[in-house]
């Protein structure tokens, strides 16, 4: 007999997270029974919907999956898993076909061929896009419609997973909190297979392009359950978040620089020319650090689209144009003020080629996972590709476990309430404890790091865990993920990709390997800080 008052049976697979990775996996599992848990209405809380660039795939003439893999390895600063890069890029075309068949309106020319964009560190135009900068939104809208029409997929909105449930040496489901119930006993959702697809950790930083709910909860949950975490120190900062004071910060897509937009300071100096042969199209970590140093030196940084795009930006990049309009910026006549912002986590729960974690019964995909594809620095637009490839692989791996089943009934007593949801997010956003974590990470575990700052961050994170008044499981997931990032950054005494140490600015051959760390190991490092 269950010891919990509120027990729900997923009757098959439970997927935590309703971004691209989770929903793609659910569709690939059809017609097997799947329960998808989402804290918010589908499409409104996922980073995938905010992706502007598109999906990287070698589908253009003269391009190849091998060339795509080589670019991925080059951007990843020496620790991309070669076999993973080759296999993922080889699957890209098939996954693009899946998205197309489910209704994604990719940009095409008069002959029906994809119109492809080029982004930083790619050797060819290979980013499959929608309406210039609306790929994420369009893909998610198409997939959501398909999910809603699939009887075997039960979507449960208004519930946040806060813990993994385990028994007999395996994961058997999740504990979740219903919307607004922050201090009551969580519900238990039992499943034969659990897929964690709840996003990254950009929201642990004060300036981020990620939705407010993306604050390391997935990695924190898995780490607290004992999962091995890989490469947590590698955080990618996007160079060109639009400087508006909004939280999260709106993004100026990298495709703008692919079209010739330049980075300048308030004096009009195009500073990237002296930093890298590819100038504005250098790998993201290099551009982000260049922008960071300009700002640190007292300069302002701008993305200048005037010569490259002029008035065409309004129609070619409507999302960016709208962000600018709301902020009172005229991108046709004035450069766009920008700043680096936490954007993507290359690390996460370590998984194998089928998406299996170190915990039996738990699969992980999307930004919550670390597959070895991104290495130390993700190649632009490889994130959505990884999400759909591993979503499909996990579905294939799980499929043999689950029978085909009829329509699943809804969970009684759980659902989305817009008024309660708005209040809950407002409370979370303004909690002093949450603000404190975000300040610690931005101040000492950001674009540039050093030993003193990392030790200070670890000490402060421990103090926050021990003294915060409103400590919940969700908050512990945040501090757990933050601790893993800071501990791994302190341990890695070199600079590589998204991890830059001012006291160890060179890349070291001794560190040309992945980090693997458990929470116990991270806490031991924190205790010694």
Q: Which residues are catalytic?
A: 284
What tokens were used for 231?
Answer: 């490469």
**Bond preceding residue 248 cis, omega within 30 of 0:** yes
Q: How far apart are CA 144 and CA 240, in angstroms?
A: 29
Q: Under a CB-based contact definition with an 8 Å cutoff, are residues 252 and 329 in contact?
A: no
Instruction: Compute CA 283 distance to the chain's CA centroid, rounded to the nearest angstrom.
Output: 18
The full 3-state SS of 144-177, as one line of letters, equals HHHHHCCCCEEEEECEEEEEEEEECCEEEEEEEE
What tokens were used for 151?
Answer: 């009887």
Burial of 519 (0-12, 13-18, 19+ CB in 10 A): buried
**20: which residues sit within 8 A by CB, 6+ positions away?**
46, 48, 136, 139, 140, 143, 366, 384, 387, 388, 391
Q: How far apart are CA 45 and CA 19, in angstroms?
A: 8
Q: Which of 233, 232, 234, 237 is nearest to 350 (CA)?
A: 232
Long-range contact pairs involving 431-436 (C-beta distance under 8 Å, separation at least 24): 431/470, 433/464, 433/468, 433/469, 433/470, 433/471, 433/475, 434/215, 434/475, 434/478, 436/460, 436/464, 436/468
Q: How far apart are CA 123 and CA 119, in angstroms?
A: 9
Q: How far apart are CA 435 and CA 470, in angstroms?
A: 13
Q: Under a CB-based contact definition with an 8 Å cutoff, are residues 331 and 324 in contact?
A: yes
What tokens were used for 168?
Answer: 């007999």
Q: How far apart are CA 204 and CA 1, in angstroms?
A: 39
Q: How far apart are CA 480 and CA 224, in angstroms?
A: 8
Q: Which of 216, 482, 226, 230 is nearest to 371 (CA)?
A: 230
């Amino acid at each position: 007999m269950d010891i919990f008052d509120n027990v729900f049976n997923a009757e098959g697979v439970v997927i935590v997270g309703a971004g691209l990775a989770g929903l793609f996996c659910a569709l690939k599992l059809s017609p097997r029974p799947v329960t998808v848990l989402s804290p918010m209405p589908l499409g409104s809380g996922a980073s995938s919907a905010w992706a502007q660039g598109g999906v990287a795939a070698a589908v253009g003439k003269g391009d190849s999956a091998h060339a795509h893999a080589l670019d991925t390895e080059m951007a990843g600063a020496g620790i991309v898993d070669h076999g993973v890069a080759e296999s993922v890029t080889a699957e890209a075309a098939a996954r693009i076909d899946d998205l197309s068949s489910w209704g994604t309106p990719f940009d095409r020319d008069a002959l029906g061929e994809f119109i492809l964009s080029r982004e930083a560190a790619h050797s060819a135009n290979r980013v499959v896009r929608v309406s210039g900068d609306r790929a994420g939104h369009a893909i998610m809208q198409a997939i959501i419609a398909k999910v809603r029409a699939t009887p075997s997929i039960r979507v449960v909105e208004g519930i946040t997973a806060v813990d993994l449930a385990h028994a007999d040496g395996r994961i058997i489901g999740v504990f979740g909190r219903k919307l607004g119930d922050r201090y009551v006993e969580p519900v238990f959702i039992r499943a034969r297979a659990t897929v964690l697809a709840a996003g990254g950790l950009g929201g642990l930083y004060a300036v981020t392009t990620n939705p407010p709910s993306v604050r390391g909860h997935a990695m924190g949950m898995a780490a607290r359950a004992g999962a091995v975490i890989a490469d947590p120190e590698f955080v990618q900062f996007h160079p060109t978040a639009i400087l508006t004071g909004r939280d999260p910060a709106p993004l100026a897509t990298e495709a703008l620089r692919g079209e010739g937009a330049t980075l300048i300071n308030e004096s009009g100096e195009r500073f990237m020319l002296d930093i890298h042969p590819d100038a504005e199209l250098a790998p993201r970590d290099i551009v982000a650090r260049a922008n960071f140093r300009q700002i640190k030196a007292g300069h302002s940084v701008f993305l200048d689209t005037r010569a490259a795009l002029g008035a065409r930006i309004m129609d070619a990049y409507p999302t960016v144009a709208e962000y600018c309009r709301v902020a009172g910026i005229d991108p046709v006549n004035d450069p766009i003020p920008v700043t680096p912002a936490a954007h993507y986590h290359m690390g996460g729960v370590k998984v194998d080629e089928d998406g299996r974690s170190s915990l039996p019964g738990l699969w992980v995909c999307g930004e919550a996972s670390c597959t070895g594809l991104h290495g130390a620095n993700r190649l632009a637009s490889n994130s959505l590709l990884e999400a759909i490839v591993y979503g499909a692989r996990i579905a294939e791996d799980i499929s043999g476990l689950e029978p085909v089943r009829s329509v699943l009934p809804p969970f009684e007593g759980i659902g989305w309430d817009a008024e309660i949801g708005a209040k809950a997010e407002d409370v979370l956003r303004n909690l002093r404890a949450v603000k404190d974590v975000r300040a610690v990470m931005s101040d000492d575990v950001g674009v540039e790091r050093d030993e003193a700052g990392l030790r200070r961050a670890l000490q402060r994170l421990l103090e926050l865990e021990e003294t915060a008044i409103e400590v919940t499981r969700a908050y512990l997931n945040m501090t757990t993920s933050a601790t893993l990032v800071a501990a791994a950054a302190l341990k890695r005494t070199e600079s590589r990709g998204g991890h830059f140490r001012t006291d160890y600015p060179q890349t070291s051959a001794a560190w040309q390997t992945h980090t693997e760390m458990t929470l116990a190991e991270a806490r031991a490092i924190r205790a010694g800080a």
